[in-house]
Amino acid sequence: MKKLSDWKSRLVASSLVTVLVAASIYLAFSPIGWLLVLGFFILLGVVAATEFCVLADHKGLKLSKKTMATFAGLYIIASFASSFVMNLNFLPAFILTLGVILLFFIHKNPTEEPLAHISTAAFGLMYIAVPLGFMVYILYGPYIIEDGRMWLIYFLGAVKIGDVAAYFFGKTLGSNTLSTISPKKTREGFFAALVGGLAFSVGFHFFIQLPGIWPMRLTLFQAIFLGILLPMIGQFSDLSESLLKRDAHVKDSNQLPGLGGVLDMIDSLLFSSAFLYFYIKLTHFI
């Protein structure tokens, strides 16, 4: 009965998040919609940064939650601003640099392990805020032809469907452990993620050929390449967050009903967002 209850809460929470994400993407270029997107990204960044501080606390590192949350939010705002105003493209790097400098003032006491605190906090900002900034760029990049909303939908679908395939097939058919970092993750689940992501990617390629669909350039070769690459990196990104949680001796990054934690929800997107952004940057001239 407990497993059934967990599944119900997970289904309800996932459905609500999916509806919110879908509405935000659909309205992303409307006068009110971009504020909804901005608020949603800031919420992700702030909560994820706070969760990272809790993980650090389990290792005896007392990071400033207010500072981490503030600069994660400011970095996302800077990413939005630089997406709309080309002259502000320096702003995200400036915010990140300012945050790192401030960390030296916060952890200036030489008896309180400043090296460990500053390094961990700086890593946390780069680990969480920068990838979320890449997602903003994927959505609002100055495309010549394409609609960034389609790229973000594609990105979320390829990675998250890979996650779902890995979970279900790993649970039902998995018997070979993928990594000692997370014993419950299996090789069968990993390959299921690649197959699921590839199937979605190829299907998406044919879907965008239909009339009336928002413009997006995704050749069949690109669909195959990215359909394998994105879920592969997503699984590695997932394992990377599992490594942090295992080191901190916690199961979930938070106790949000049906979700666990925000970091748990976005972990597979963090590294893969960077790869997709740079791929688009190199091949689509945004």
Residue 97 DSSP label: H
- Residue pLDDT, tens place only, 239-267: 999 999 999 988 877 777 666 789 999 99
Q: Tell me, yes or no, whether 165 and 215 share the same domain.
A: yes
Cβ-contact 63, 123 below 8 angstroms: no
pTM of the model: 0.92
- Residue pLDDT, tens place only, 76-85: 999 999 999 9
How confident is residue 65, by pLDDT bands cut at 50, 70 and 90?
very high
Q: Tell me, yes or no, whether 149 and 184 share the same domain.
A: yes
Q: Tell me, yes or no, whether 75 and 129 share the same domain.
A: yes
Q: CA dist 200 to 46, 54, 162, 263, Å?
A: 31, 35, 9, 24
* Integer Cα distance of 83 and 29 in angstroms: 12
Q: Tell me, yes or no, whether 249 and 181 share the same domain.
A: yes
Residue 262: inside a domain: yes
Q: Tell me, yes or no, whether 198 and 261 share the same domain.
A: yes
Cβ-contact 278, 32 below 8 angstroms: no
How confident is residue 1, by pLDDT bands cut at 50, 70 and 90?
very low
Cβ-contact 8, 14 below 8 angstroms: no
Residue 7: inside a domain: no
Nearest to 279, CA basis, from 241, 223, 237, 239:
223
Q: Tell me, yes or no, whether 130 and 154 share the same domain.
A: no
Which domain does 264 fall in, by range?
A: 144-286
Q: Kind and range of the H or E element at 259?
A: none
Residue where a domain stops, chosen among 82, 106, 140 = 140
Residue 8: inside a domain: no
Nearest to 133, CA basis, from 91, 105, 174:
91
Residue 37: inside a domain: yes
Residue where a domain stops, chosen among 105, 140, 175 = 140
Q: Is the four-CA dihedral 214, 219, 220, 224 of positive or negative sign?
A: negative
**What residues pair up with 256 in beta bridges, in sequence order?**
260
Q: Tell me, yes or no, whether 127 and 166 share the same domain.
A: no
Q: How confident is the model at residue 170, as a pLDDT?
A: 78
**Chain position carrying tokens 């790097």:** 93
- Residue pLDDT, tens place only, 272-286: 999 999 999 998 755
